[in-house]
């Protein structure tokens, strides 16, 4: 099923997909409310959904289709590739995300992967997500205090909280607080992940 409020784009998608074996377009429209009704009636396996529509935007359409046709797997097709945008739509239940600049083969790959039950994010959006993750961690490292850098350095050499506390002359409880705060700033969940990340940077602490 194709949902986009621009006729030319719907026609382009239809032309792109109609030549593929095992793909059948069961419905298409440019109106969010009608799209919800069509999805409920036709129960498509895959929905290609433009997110920038009016008066009902794509996010609302996504929520309603998931409610009324829960077996339908929705692939977002958007002009945007910003990480926050991608993450929000995947959290809302989208199974795929491609941009309107994605090549034809990537669209077809997205349909195949999502139909198999996988999550698919196009290369452009995936790169932005990866770049943001690196930037978040780098900014987290730069935000550590001098004491936290000392704790991190000793953690990196395998020191326990007890050993680090003795080395720095402070309490074990204080070391535990520092460890928690370091992980929070670095957006990491475990000390192992923290050490692996710092080692990958090959920096002196």
For position 129, what pLDDT does the model report?
Answer: 66
Backbone φ and ψ of 166, nearest 5°: -65, -40
Query: What are the chain's domains?
Result: 2-126 (3.40.50.2300), 134-201 (1.10.10.10)
pLDDT of 203 > 80? The answer is: no
167-176 tens-digit pLDDT: 999 999 999 9
> Would you say the pTM of this structure is higher than 0.85?
no
pLDDT of 136 > 70? The answer is: no
For position 131, what pLDDT does the model report?
Answer: 63
For position 134, what pLDDT does the model report?
Answer: 57
Which pair of tokens denotes residue 147? Answer: 């004491």
Residue-wise burial string across 124-157, b where 16 or more C-beta atoms lie within 10 A, e elsewhere: bbeebbeeeeeeebeebbeebeeebebbbebbee
* Average pLDDT over all residues of the chain: 87
Higher local confidence (pLDDT), 98 or 139: 98
pLDDT band at 132 (very low <50, low <70, confident <90, very high): low
């Amino acid at each position: 099923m194709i949902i986009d409020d621009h006729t030319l784009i719907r026609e382009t998608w239809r032309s792109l997909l109609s030549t593929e074996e095992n793909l059948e377009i069961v419905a298409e429209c440019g109106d969010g409310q009608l799209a919800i009704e069509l999805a409920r009636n036709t129960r498509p396996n895959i929905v290609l959904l433009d997110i920038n529509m009016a008066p009902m935007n794509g996010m609302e359409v996504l929520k309603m289709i998931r409610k009324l046709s829960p077996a339908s797997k929705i692939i977002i097709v958007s002009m945007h590739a910003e990480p926050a945008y991608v993450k929000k739509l995947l959290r809302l239940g989208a199974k795929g995300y491609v941009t309107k600049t994605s090549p034809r083969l990537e669209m077809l790959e997205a349909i195949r992967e999502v139909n198999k039950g996988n999550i698919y994010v196009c290369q452009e959006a995936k790169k932005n997500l990866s770049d943001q993750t690196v930037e978040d961690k780098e900014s987290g490292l730069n935000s550590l205090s001098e004491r936290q850098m000392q704790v991190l350095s000793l953690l990196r050499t395998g020191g326990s909280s007890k050993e680090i506390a003795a080395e720095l002359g402070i309490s074990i409880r204080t070391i535990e607080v520092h460890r928690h705060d370091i992980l929070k700033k670095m957006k990491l969940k475990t000390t192992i992940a923290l050490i692996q990340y710092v080692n990958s940077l090959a920096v002196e602490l």
